[in-house]
Amino acid sequence: MRHQEWQGQLHHNNSMRTRSFRPVPLQLRLDTKMPVHSPIASHFRSRFTTQVRRVLPAYILLLFLFLFFANVFTAPIRAAHRYKREWKYQKPLQHSKIPIPRKIWQTWKTGPLNFEQHHSDSAKTWPAKNPNYRYEVLTDDNAIQYVEWNYGVHGFNRPDIIHTYRELNITIIKADLLRYLVMYAEGGVYADIDVEALRPVNKFIPDRYNEEEVDMIIGVEIDEPAFSKHPILGSKCMSFCQWTFAAKPRLPVMLRLVENIQDWLHDLSIEKSVPISQLELDFDEVITGTGPSAFTQAVLEQMTAQNNGKVVTWDSFHDLAESRLQNGILVLDVEAFAAGQGHSDSGNHDSRGALVKHHYHASGWPILHPRHNHPMFGEVEKCNWKPDCVATWDKNVAEWDTLSKEEQDKRIADKPK
């Protein structure tokens, strides 16, 4: 091919390439209906989804193995920590020669000037019966300052306790924990806002005891051990009152109780897979976690620790006819703090042995934390520990479980409103 012809052909080919790759005009691109997702993007997205499905089981397995081995390898550390704590609980008291401080503590949403009338009537009985005692109310607004001061760098330097208290959002749990923190820090007498003083605090300790020997004063609340194996009542049938009690400051039993609660909250958070701030609890969880059952467990554990390891059980306080001093902890009979309940042979408030009267109107927390409520037969607690009533409830529930779902629904629909 001649040189001129070859150059002409090359010029022609380059012109064609230039025209072939010329950008599409803007107006043309806007008017052209092009797919939103390109085939390339769809291809990679599909591959990514497939890869995730392939590796997800492996990731889950690795997470399970991590949690398993973390638990295995940290178990000895946790055991050593518990042993160290138990040794701490068994240390002798630093203030064993002083009497219980003459202070009366109550906690509530507001201060005394804003109490409702029925709360005011009950609260006024404490300073009236005990004019030589200091009286103080911690409120929802100032409780955190109290905890931060006493358990911060100025006090016990326990940031973990401050963190736990701050993280809690359940009112009744914070109220329970606060009373234990106050009593550990300063001691004195604690009473719920709906508890009326019938006798002065100096009547709490019988004359036969030396006041300095009494580190703590508690009273029996529920003494119904016959129900210990009941699936609902069992965890609540033997307990001391924690809505009225007295103690010296820095008692190991109070610290034991606080740290038991911390462990319980931590374990419950893991079990329910939510942070402590998002926990939701039923009635029994409140009672056993921070309420009377938790209080009773810690007291019996501490009695055992101070009893040279010899186990102290509820048997020591069943059918208690008169007060008993057990390793510095004075246990009063059921009539002292819990008269008028209609169970546990608790007597009534007109007797000489009744020291306080619990009106049970402090708050509606049980409504927020419902009890076990059978759809046909209601709450077994309404039997108020009467054996025949509980037996009938149990029998009815057992028979109910044998019915078909259709028959159960029919009976519920026919149930009187």
8 Å CB contact between 179 and 218: no
Burial of 189 (0-12, 13-18, 19+ CB in 10 A): buried
Helical (H) or strand (E) element with 405 = helix 405-414
Average pLDDT over residues 372-399: 97
Going by C-alpha positions, the residue among 294, 233, 303 that lies closest to residue 265 is 294
- Banded pLDDT at 88 (limits 50, 70, 90): confident
Which pLDDT tens digit goes with each residue over 226-242?
999 999 999 999 999 99
If one compares 7 and 272, the residue with the highest pLDDT of the two is 272
Which pLDDT tens digit goes with each residue over 131-158?
999 999 999 999 999 999 999 999 999 9
Describe the crossing of helices 252-272 and 159-167 by its angle, rounded to 10 degrees.
Answer: 50
- Single-letter amino acid code for the residue at 209: Y
Burial of 85 (0-12, 13-18, 19+ CB in 10 A): middle
Judged against a pLDDT cut of 90, whether residue 68 lies above it is answered with no
Q: What is the pTM of this model?
A: 0.80
Which pLDDT tens digit goes with each residue over 263-318?
999 999 999 999 999 999 999 999 999 999 999 999 999 999 999 879 999 999 99
Judged against a pLDDT cut of 90, whether residue 403 lies above it is answered with yes
For 183-328, strand residue ranges (E) read: 188-191, 195-197, 216-223, 238-240, 244-247, 324-326
Average pLDDT over residues 163-190: 97
8 Å CB contact between 338 and 374: no
- The two tokens of residue 147 are 């905890």
What distances in angstroms separate CA 338 from CA 73, 354, 357, 383, one per listed residue? 46, 8, 7, 18
Helical (H) or strand (E) element with 105 = strand 103-108
Average pLDDT over residues 366-388: 94
